Chains A and B, each alone.
Chain A
Amino acid sequence: MMRRRASWPALAILICASTIAAQGLDPARLLGPPTDAWPTYNGDYTGRRYSPLDQIHGGNVGSLTLAWAFRQNTRGPAPGAGTIKATPLYVDGVLYYAAPDHAWAVDARTGREIWHFAWETSGGIHIGNRGVGMLGDTVYFETPDCFLVALDARTGDLRWTQRIADVRQEYFCTPPPMVIGDNLITGVGGDSLDVPGYLQSRDLETGELRWNFNTTPRGDEPGAETWPNAESMEHGGGMTWLPGTYDPELNLYYFGTGNPNPVYAGHSREGDNLYTCTIIAINPDTGEMAWYFQVSPHDTHDWDNVETPVLIDGVFEGEERRMLAQAARNGYFVLLDRVTGEHLLTTPFIETLNWSSGVDALGRPRPNPDKEPQPDGTLVSPAEPGATNWYAPSFNPDTGLFYVHATESWAIDYVTDTGDNPQGFAGMAQQLYARHLLQAVDYRTGTIAWSHRYSGSGGTRSGLLSTAGGLLFAGDPTRNLIAFEPATGDILWHVPLHAPVSNGPITYEMDGRQYLVAGAGDMLYAFTLPD
């Protein structure tokens, strides 16, 4: 009877709602821990990459077996598109991910391609794409030429596009858009021509701009006193190329900003160069800054500070606190109170670090001016790729340990443009020796609880994943996907793949089974326990 009396609009709403429930991503699922969905880049808003799933555990991980493998076909000439750096999203039986100019939906039961969307590029640096964002039945991703693209999650059909930056000015775009409430948060990248960084909120339905936050000041805005003049701020960099984390109760979004520009030449931008290389807390509905903490004042080594600010709830010096931790590219582990931004701890997580002369009264690493790049070269540790980089860390509340892939390395850093008005990178770093580590950091003290030094050479590009099954998954610098015991660092399981793990592994429950999915080169691999 009710049904017969329902008006057409009401019926339409019912039909829409049931469609969303069946195939789309309900906003409420963004707030939960990642179990039967991996709905955001880090699995949930905390950035911990910790799953409460425990079907796969230390006692049975040795019997993990291949469920399927998927090889992507980019069918295009775009260089760099072949490596999967994206963390896939998992929603209702489907994995969604992107590479530069491409996006896919893959059947999570079989590894079969459901759809493939290819973008006709107008240029841009094709260094990587970190993945997609999703809400309802819309999938969002950014392209190297800085378009925000919205796709129908069911078919891969194009819904709309919005240009979010000018590729002609050497911006390029890699991060997954983040859905927070009514906001689609987008970021930008680009170091080649001293463009200024910004973070934006876009409308979920249309992509129209809701607010814009410049990461360097304009005019006499706060922070302007840390630059010599207006031109240096307007060309000061501070990119926003990795997604941040979010505390729904505080309604604060936390993200890190990239290095200042010109990159290696600091002599035309004397000062701390706010808000580059800074952790920023922002109200996602208004774009207003609540607090900031600068992790690399006046950086001259290309050490973007965009690494994930991981949310930790726990005890610090006997007191329950809501905190935020970051292992920064400059080699320091930083712990802050995420309510106020109060500094709690700053400690190095590599042993070779030589660019800093210690920590200042505010808890910020203090750069040693003698280790700034010079025309005849300066020996610097870590090297330009940093003590860590974009690959995701993990925090395991069961062990209280923060895990990060780290590198102890050296480079010779040069200024090549010594004029009064240097531009672009204005220098270079020549890489020397590097060794690769998995570091387990005690968040309460910053001490290294255990450290695993990989035997293999090559870079580490893998993100990390912790689970309640007492497992820590990581890819090594060669081709192995490894399960570590998270309290001790003992190796419990490994499998060699065809290429090094190149993204952050994820886990989810489907049909009552726990799956582990990792990207390596141009392939996704799914593992589960045998029947």
Chain B
Amino acid sequence: MSSPSTSSISSAAATVGELLAGSARPAEDRGILDEGAKREIRRAALSAVCVPGYQVPFGSREMPVARGWGSGGLQVTLAVVGAADTVKVIDQGDDDGVNATNLRRLITGSVGCAETTDSREASVVQTRHRVPEQPLAADDVLVLQVPVPEPLRGVQKSVAECARMHAEADYSSIWVSLYEDLVHNGVISRSTGYPVLVDGRYVMATTPIPRWDVPRLHRSTHLSLFGAGREKRIYAVPPYTDVVPLTFDDVPFEVEGARGARCARCGSVDTFLVEHGSARFGCSDTEWCDRVRAGDADAEAHRAAAPLALLPEAARRAGRQRPPVETRPLPPPRRTGCADGTDWTLKVDRIGKVHGPGGAAAVPGTGPEHRTAVSPVTGAVVAAWDIGFDVAPGEALGLIGESGSGKSTVLRCLVGEEAATTGTVRLAAVDRGRTDVLSLTPAQRRRLRIDVLGFVHQDPAAGLTLNVTAGGNIAERLTAAGWRSYRDIRARAAALLDRVEVPLVRMDDPVATFSGGMRQRVQIAKALATDPAVLLLDEPTTGLDASVAAGVLDLLRGLLAERDAAAVVVSHDFGVIEALTDRSLVMQLGRVVEQGLTDQLFRDPHHPYTQRLVAAARR
């Protein structure tokens, strides 16, 4: 949104008085918001209608009410309301709350529109925390005051990261939070502001309206505009738009209910009830309550529209399951096979990485024959240069070398954690191997890590979220890949954990409580969760005690044989490479100095550097 330029105003008039007269500023609005600001807000609201559920930034102005007291809703209302409108304002469903009273006074005072408490007469309803019980008409606008517009804030504190997650529809962390909630509490314990998926695209915060009101936004006839003044965001649910609460397919979304509760004033059992005196309930919507008492409400239509089918029913809940005692064995993977006309799943060509200036110009004078990786020309570090290999399904390739030889750099370039200076990477799963993976956008490359590339880090903490359960860590990968059945996710996680020999009684414990070896097993299970075609292992046993490492190595050997993935194993330890791989590349100072079948290299190393590595492994 660009600032209005001054020249268009200043060229036309001479005095400040004329300038003021020339800028559209009706006298009645002088109290709160100037016309230019209203125009900006309307533009933002129109953008919001065009992209349902997307948070549109806007130049939120300071209002005569505190930020948090409806300054966003007030700006939206002032921007859309005209003198011919009739406005209703509620807080907690009540027309007479202090906040509602105060806002109504400000709106009607500055716009000169009519006010009402009857939803049927209102053309604009501004509300905090409720959707009126009376269904709104097709032309009506519901303006909701929003304290916190970001549905992901609870799972991600960085606003830049939240923006990225929305842009890429990367919502697995909020799914994991629902999974964890179910594991720990047996129900989804989120109360108000329940996250919803709007129009199948954006996850949106439903302000803090109760869950009771959430289904009432789904395909509603009216327009809902959400104004967050403090955080400077407007978003919208246009009429007839899908609004679907986030929950697993087999876990019912529940609205608030209390057994046998009815309104102590009007007797309704199909409204949102709040505590009313001790041990009693009353309608939070005071207008509806009064009209039911007066016999002026279409109770039948209301009952038909009320979310009674979503009242809690313990029998339907997935329940707080114990970890499954028995699991079915992990089913065999489905494979895409090789790239067209080839026999590889992964092909890396002439990959190079230079840290520092010069790019390819930094390469001459570096490498094993010069005994340095530092460029004599530019001072840059040539971490890896001219590395190429391909890997077939079911094959494991080793990259071995001392620390600093560039083997992990190659792996990081491959997976996208570092940008390669040169080279290409092709995957059978991407465009049948015709597209260079390095040419993809960062978002596309992140996507590959969900179901094409599995990565096992040396440090389990780099691949796991430590405060999340073992099952939840696997659920992160599965939900990212689109899994939406709680039972299926748990069954798959249990099968994976069982396969990597993590006791299932630990499935619902946070991995922070696990030993190093156990964490590494969970990380391996997570990497295998979606049966990726390519498995990348970076020093998978290096951080472990010798006896624990031996167990993990045995496990990996079995898995590589069984899962039919193309694997790349990086290690400084010839023992690991020998145990896991068929072919190997020996790297020194960023170059490949020798390659061949692993057992031959191990038996009969030619290069002196390889001989040293082999000798070290045999000690």
Q: Do A and B truly interact?
A: no
Which A residues have a C-beta under 8 Å from some C-beta of B? none
